[in-house]
Chains A and B, each alone.
Chain A
Amino acid sequence: MLRFVLRRLLSAVPTIFIVVSISFFLIRFAPGGPFNLERALPPQIMTNLMHAYQLDQPLWVQYLHYLWNVLHLDFGPSYIYRDFTVTELILQSLPYSLEIGSFAMLIAVVGGVAAGVFAALRQNRALDYSLMSIATIGLTVPNFVIGPVLSLVFAVGLRWASAGGWGGGGPRDLTLPIIALALPQLAIFARLTRGSMIEALRADNVRTVRAYGLPARVVVVVHALRAAILPVVTYVAPAAAAVLTGSVVIETIFGIPGVGRYFVTGALNRDYTLVMGTVVLIAVFIIVFNLIVDLLYAALDPRVRYD
């Protein structure tokens, strides 16, 4: 088991190297640079800036320089937010994303699995249909509609919540963004759980334990759900990586100082180092969560063993 974890962590190194290399060159292919503004800078000032940030050197020199710095965990200065380094920006914003992201994940997994199980148990009945219609709506109505609607109703109208900003980080400020972030994921978990639960309820082992006369709760939770949860667990990895690293839409709508916006604004601003920093961050999250999910498999499914 330990050897498996070590092997996976080691194989992450070349993966991250490849991700860093590809994204380094991809972002440079985009026309323009960090200092092309609507108001152009005079050429001589542009020269000073390019020199100050070593952007006047050949691309391969910049690439080697960047790799060397990344090896020392130095992700460089932000070209746009000039008072901050990329590491400072990410470390400052990540905790905010993690906080609302983990609450959102918790709500999405618990709520989604519960809704999926209930729907499966009442398959093709009113409860199933209503739960699944809500889930479909949650899935198809985009964040940038849900967010403003929640804000209009609960902040502007009822004044129960604040319309934006982290504020003191209390429930008044965070409930709306957490819900808006959780809803689409909750819908996916509900649909996934329902599907695999229906299958699991028909499986031979479940029929057998039912025939033994075990209480329905034990049949559902211990036997059916344990089998049905595997596809759900698979989805936890990408979902957690996405939700915990923030959402530019939710962050912009609710004024949350999270890390998600840097991925998008960094690319639009050609803030090369900031884009690279967020790419590495997301890659690390995906790798770590995939590893966690693989370990969960072993815990949940007796057929899976890592030696």
Chain B
Amino acid sequence: MMLKALAKGGFAAFALSAAALLAAAPAFAEVVLHRGNGSEPQTLDQAHTTIDVEANILYDLYEGLTIYDEAGNIVPGDAESWSVSDDGLTYTFKLRADAKWSNGDPVTADDYVYSFRRVEDPKEAAGYANILYPIKNAEAINTAKPDAPVDVSTLGVKALDPKTLQVTLERPTPYFITLMAHQTALPVYRPAIEKFGADFVKPGNMVSNGAFTLSEDVANDHITVAKNPQFWDAANVKLDKVIFYPTDDQAAAVRRFQAGELDLNYYFPTDQLKQLQQSLGTDQVHMSPSLATYYYALDERQPPFDDVRVRQAMSMAIDRDFLSQSIFSGGQLPLYSFVPPGIPGYTPAAADFGTMSQLDREDKAKELLKEAGYGPGGKPLNIEIRYNTNDNHKKVATAIADMWKDLGATVTIVNLDTKSHYAYLQEGGMFNAARAGWTADYPDPENFLFQYISTNKTFNYGGYNSPKYDDLMKQSYAERDPAKRMQILHDAEALLMADQAVAPLMVYASPWLVSRKVHGWQDNAANQHLSRFLTLDQ
């Protein structure tokens, strides 16, 4: 009994009182969505969030100026409308008159001014502060030397009146509206932070402006959000509660789904796609292409990989259909461009060998290698593949090693745990070929292509350095016409693919289990599924 009492102590005590409060509510059948969320969020603070499982919860709790609708499109959220100045530098947002916090206070332009300043304050050490860097002075404020005095009030955000927010940008940013839908741009309730400090994210302290409010948070067990009656569109929110579970063990999550304990689950073991489709029915197993690329970075700082023919040959020799079908059961599709398809208005620029058959590619690869002086009779080609430890990455690396051996290369494979792998790459370690992945922060090709600008030391693992590419990217930032801008980005990507600075392999897909009881679900490339758009059969 004592242990029972202990187990219910502390945090759980709150849960009990919350349950007691709820029990006092009028008696009707509550509609509760049990939502497997992949893994445990590391924070519910919009200034600290960096991963998708946090965004899934934060988007239910808060509403930003713009939001993702059920189809993954960016639509007005807290802002009912906005206008852009002719030079593209000033955005004026008109907030909804009926936008309110969960305690009934109106959401004001000042709330956004405070929230954006907070994200850029270096003391807050926001992991995604760079999402708001297009705002005037944001980067200067955020990158001030530690302990140097910073004046966050110089940030280009201003409240013209309680419901009008003006944002001034550092440079024209054609995708700025999509940035405003990012979880880092969600507003915070200032009095809660001033009263509770870092604990403003705890149930009972948190005041939010979204469709739901936080009612329970037990680390590694569940996070419960309850319908927010103050939400401006509450009449259209059909769920009373959503319970998020950290389903790290994907196989266990499948069992919980089969046992009817979960209505939704993010992630399942993709190599079991076919079996799951058979046992659960194809209508409950969703695998939709997302804005995420699975790729191998190639190091061109050293021979022989500084030779474009060698990189082309290596990339061509990879049978992406085999990887897609044999390792991922067709769940991840072959990719020949670095930007995956699915961004409105953009056509990815695929490598020219994308249209060839695999046999032709292999012949061409051998030819290119021979020209470069490698292959049978030529200089020996030694390739080391580095990947972060993971079953699927291992299968991919082994398969690619075999494909490269067919080219006459000697291939070795090295694997490290995720932290060590990325620390090595990000600190400029030399390599030959290294696995990496990239998921879009916002649906715009720039979010993929900026990584290969020569001055990008963090993501340009292989040291791609092309003045022509840099120049195209620069033009894209200045171009105001959306169609022309997309064309410039397309040209830049075409160059990147001609140089094979990177070997794209597959489009990641977002694996979801969606119960037949759930309605309003739409697969989308942005992989955004706000609970407020879902309904559930009882």
Contacts and interface: CB of A to CB of B under 8 A. Distances in A.
A32 B256 contact: no
A50 to B, nearest CB: 9
Contact of A36 (B43, B126, B419, B437): B419
Contact of A39 (B126, B388, B438): B438
Given A93-B219, A169-B7, A252-B252, A37 B129 contact: no
Interface stretch (B241-249, B268-276, B298-306, B336-344): B241-249
A229 to B, nearest CB: 25
A155 interface: yes
A258 to B, nearest CB: 8
A95 B6 contact: yes
A45 B426 contact: no
Contacts of A268: 417-419
B419 A257 contact: no
B14 to A, nearest CB: 11
Interface string A161-181: 011111001000000000000
B418 A83 contact: no
A167 to B, nearest CB: 9
B419 A32 contact: yes
Interface stretch (A96-104, A123-131, A203-211): A96-104
A215 interface: no
Contacts of B423: 31-33, 36
A306 B459 CA distance: 64
B247 A255 contact: yes
A151 B139 CA distance: 51
A18 interface: no
Interface string A20-37: 000000000011110111
Contact of B45 (A32, A82, A91, A95): A82
A77 to B, nearest CB: 9
Nearest to B200: A83
B255 A39 contact: no
Contacts, number: 177
A41 B219 contact: no
Given A81-B40, A92-B219, A261-B220, A38 B437 contact: yes
B259 interface: yes
A163 B125 contact: no
A152 to B, nearest CB: 6
A80 interface: yes
| Residue of B219, B253, B419 contacting most chain A CB atoms (<10 Å) | B419
A129 to B, nearest CB: 34
Contacts of A81: 40, 42-43, 219
Interface size class of B (residues with CB under 8 A): 35 or more
Contact of A83 (B43, B50, B222): B43
B3 interface: yes
A89 interface: yes
A183 B417 CA distance: 31
A37 B269 CA distance: 22
Nearest to B243: A165
B146 interface: yes
A2 interface: no
A83 B146 contact: no
Contacts of B277: none
Given A81-B43, A155-B259, A99 B143 contact: no
B283 to A, nearest CB: 20
Contacts of B220: 93, 251, 257-258, 261
A47 B127 CA distance: 10
A48 B125 contact: yes
A75 interface: no
| Residue of A36, A49, A166, A253 contacting most chain B CB atoms (<10 Å) | A36
A194 B241 CA distance: 53
B195 interface: no
A211 to B, nearest CB: 46
B142 interface: yes
Contacts of A30: 419-420
B127 A45 contact: yes
A195 interface: no
| Residue of B45, B424, B426 contacting most chain A CB atoms (<10 Å) | B426
A213 interface: no
Interface string A39-58: 11111110111011100100
B142 A255 contact: no
B255 A95 contact: no
B259 to A, nearest CB: 4
B259 A253 contact: no
A89 B146 contact: no
A164 B146 CA distance: 45
Contact of A47 (B6, B8, B146, B457): B146
Nearest to B6: A95
Given A83-B44, A163-B258, A255-B247, A269 B419 contact: yes
Nearest to B421: A32
A162 B261 contact: yes
B48 A31 contact: no
A265 to B, nearest CB: 9
Nearest to B218: A257
A43 B252 CA distance: 37
Contacts of A51: 122, 125, 146
A122 interface: no
Given A33-B419, A165-B261, A257 B219 contact: yes
Nearest to B461: A40
B439 interface: yes
A148 B416 contact: no
A159 interface: yes
Given A95-B6, A99-B6, A99-B7, A38 B256 contact: no
Contact of B130 (A45, A156, A256): A45
A44 B142 contact: yes
Given A39-B438, A45-B127, A51-B146, A32 B420 contact: yes
A84 interface: yes
Contacts of B127: 35, 41, 45, 49
29 contacts: A30-B419, A30-B420, A31-B419, A32-B423, A36-B419, A38-B418, A38-B436, A39-B50, A40-B422, A40-B425, A41-B458, A42-B458, A44-B142, A45-B142, A48-B123, A48-B124, A81-B40, A95-B9, A98-B3, A99-B6, A156-B259, A162-B256, A162-B259, A163-B255, A163-B259, A252-B249, A253-B252, A255-B256, A270-B419
Closest 6 CB pairs of A and B: A32-B423, A32-B419, A257-B221, A52-B125, A95-B7, A44-B143
Interface of A: 30-33, 35-45, 47-49, 51-53, 56, 80-84, 89, 91-93, 95-96, 98-99, 102, 148, 151-152, 155-156, 159, 162-166, 169, 251-258, 261, 268-270
